[in-house]
Amino acid sequence: MRRTGLTLATTVGLIAALGLAWGGMTYSQAQAVPTLVPPTLVPTLQRPLQDFILAESGVARIAREGKVRIGVLYNEPPFGEINVRGELSGMDADLGRLLAQTWGVEVVFVQVTRQNRLEQVERGLVDLLIAAQVQRRELDSRVEFSEPYRVGRQAVMVRSDDGAQALNDLTTRRLGVVLGTEGEAALRNWQARRGLNLQVQSYLIADQAVSALFAQEVDAVVGRVEHLRRLVINQLDSVRFLEEPLEVEPFAVVVARQDSNLRLLVNRTLQYLVQREELQKLHARYFPGERFPTDALTLWANVGNDAPKPAMFNEPLKFPLQYAVPRIRASGVLRVAGLLPLPVDASEGERRLDQFNRAIVDQVAARLGLQVELVDHGDFVEAVEQNWADVAVGLSLDWNLANRIDFSQAYGLRGDRLMVKANSSIMGFNELRGRWLGTMAEDEGARERAQFWADSINARVRFYSTFEADAASAMLVQNNADAIYGDSLRLIPHLLAHPDKLKLTQRWYSRTYLAFGVPRNDLDMRLLMDYALQDMVSDGTLRGLLQGLLPPNSEVPVFNLTPGRSAYLTLRG
């Protein structure tokens, strides 16, 4: 991958600004909910000045040469290994083949090691790294990561007859760990967060730690769940794993830093493969019985039914007009688009969404020690694109916008649901054959969306139109509808008003994920928003706020957490 010889600091003149003192920034909005953990810091950017502006995206080289070079570990089953037939196999190898096949290019595997795999990306020797690489915060100053294709964990393994059920049950027990591993780091991080003085026994190799467990020299062993399971494959009845992770491990595809084109091509292809259920099948082959990370690898709107191709993303790399973090650092102000005053006739659902987004902004600003400046511009995307705002709140993850802005990770969810009477036997469209389905006049396109699901199973459904305010009455009083289909935000008020008479069926018929919009290819700003949101996930604040956005009794989505600690875009401590 060709790079210019100019550093990012020289090219855009920003690194000096990043060194300005941060002290004295406060957040003055009194309604902000206090954080339960130390606040997220705006980045100090304590890293070598070694960022380079890429001369071209890896997409350009892939399109030009008709092949993609993928770095893979050859000794890390079940991710990558040489099998008995001398062939490269494993989850990562098969995922690489699937990406190349989807793009219509040749795949060239390059053997990497744990020591040089990131360097291979930085030096442009591979286009992609798919090598059991966990996204960790301390790596964000070196490379970029796709959405996770698997979420594993650093796990705690105990003997099957042990009574421990949760991590807290082990605070006075003896824990075995292998020196120099991510398991050791995860244990130390957990110990520091809880303020515990654990009894930790260190070992040179995992076999020693497992032997110590069976010899009752330790009560538990910490390590990557795939590694531990492989070590006890013939003794699985003698051990069990605590369900609570010591640390989550999102495995992702790695690309060069600030190569937004290639990252977007990978992400759209992963979502396309999820939509076709090919990635789920691949995951089930190598991790049978384990849950596929649906919430972590979210489907954006308009992912499309056509296979993504390099030509779709083969354009000159875009860089922001001005990098947001230096400006925020100098001013102490976060400029936010997307929070315009609501009209007086706004529905309860619209008010609920507005309150949720305002609470999210309050929390992010408070954790970063910033004041909020609301940007009065109706086109929220244009406001970010033209550098009038640092972020836009409440945007839907949408591929139609991906050529203009980037998105943070998701923080909210809305979508189409089916509302029925509490005593109804209706579970979905199959039970609506020949019956009356109501849609709300204010919910534009709801009837067409419902018709799509009815047609998908060849079900004849009769439609009834009602106003949003009368939806519950149409079912409970007038008996004009057997169910109501529509946006969850429009259904929530009726569910709250009639908790004993109405309910939702289990399925989400569509999922619209909410996120911050940030400037295109401004990686530091995107990470800053991600880490502030992850702070809210970790201390439970986001779960609490989501109670006002999600329907009653809904399962809260499992939003991403990036493990690790770093002086770069990280939490204090």
pLDDT digits (tens, 9 = 90+) for 92-145: 999 999 999 999 999 999 999 999 999 999 999 999 999 999 999 999 999 999
* Whether CATH 3.40.190.10 fits 416-504: yes
pLDDT band, very low/low/confident/very high, at 486 (cuts 50, 70, 90): very high
State which H helix or E strand residue 355 sits in. Answer: helix 348-368
Mean pLDDT of 387-395: 97
- Average confidence (pLDDT) over 417-430: 97
Q: Is the pLDDT of residue 355 over 60?
A: yes
Instruction: Tell me what pLDDT residue 295 has.
Output: 81
Fold classified for 152-248: D-Maltodextrin-Binding Protein; domain 2 (3.40.190)
Predicted pLDDT of residue 17: 35
The reported pLDDT for the residue numbered 30 is 33
- Residue 375 is encoded by which pair of tokens? 């940007």
Tens-digit pLDDT profile for residues 263-280 = 999 999 999 999 999 999
The reported pLDDT for the residue numbered 566 is 61
Query: What mean pLDDT is predicted for residues 316-327?
Result: 90
Strand pairing report for 333-337 and 371-375: parallel
Average pLDDT over residues 526-534: 94
Considering only residues 49 and 183, tell me which one the structure prediction assigns the higher pLDDT.
183
pTM of the complete model beyond 0.75: yes
Mean of the pLDDT values across residues 335-362? 95
Q: Would you say 324 and 421 are in contact if contact means Cβ atoms under 8 Å apart?
A: no
User: Domain 52-149+249-308 is classified in which CATH homologous superfamily?
Assistant: Periplasmic binding protein-like II (3.40.190.10)
Q: Matching CATH topology for 52-149+249-308 and 416-504? A: yes
Average pLDDT over residues 447-462: 97
Residue 364 in tokens: 């992010």
DSSP string for residues in 452-485: HHHHHTT---EEEEE-GGGHHHHHHTS---SEEE
pLDDT tens digits for range 6-17:
343 333 333 333
Is-contact 107 67, C-beta < 8 A? yes
Mean pLDDT computed over 148-170: 94
Q: Has residue 470 got a pLDDT over 50?
A: yes
Burial of 515 (0-12, 13-18, 19+ CB in 10 A): buried
Res. 557 pLDDT band, cuts 50 70 90: confident
The pLDDT value given to residue 289: 87
Instruction: Examine the pLDDT at 44 and tell me if it is beyond 60.
Output: no
DSSP code of 137? G
Q: What is the mean pLDDT of residues 548-566?
A: 86
84-107 burial: b if 16+ Cβ within 10 Å, else e? eeeebbbbbbbbbebbbebbebeb
CA separation for the pair 464, 28 (Å, rounded): 49
Looking at the predicted structure, is the pLDDT value of residue 375 above 50? yes
Q: What is the mean pLDDT of the chain?
A: 89
CATH number of this structure's domain 25-48+317-414+512-546: 3.40.190.10
Query: What was the pLDDT predicted at 569?
Result: 59
Please give the structure tokens belonging to residue 166. Answer: 């949760």
Which residue type is seen at 569? L
* Cβ-proximal residues to 91 (8 Å cutoff; 6+ apart), any chain: 78, 79, 80, 150, 282, 283, 285, 286, 287
* Structural domain spans, the chain: 25-48+317-414+512-546, 52-149+249-308, 152-248, 416-504
Nearest alpha carbon to residue 41 among 527, 562, 560, 538: 527
Question: pLDDT by residue (tens digit) across 165-184?
Answer: 999 999 989 999 999 999 99
Please tell me which residue, 42 or 388, carries the higher pLDDT value. Answer: 388
Higher confidence at residue 330 or residue 21? 330
Higher pLDDT, 315 or 43: 315
Question: According to the model, what pLDDT value does residue 296 have?
Answer: 85
Q: Inform me whether the pLDDT recorded for 314 exceeds 60.
A: yes
> Does the pLDDT at position 529 exceed 50?
yes
Report the pLDDT value the prediction gives residue 570, as an integer from 0 to 100.
43
* Percent above pLDDT 70 for the chain: 90
264: alpha, beta or left, given left = phi > 0 and alpha = psi -120 to 50? alpha
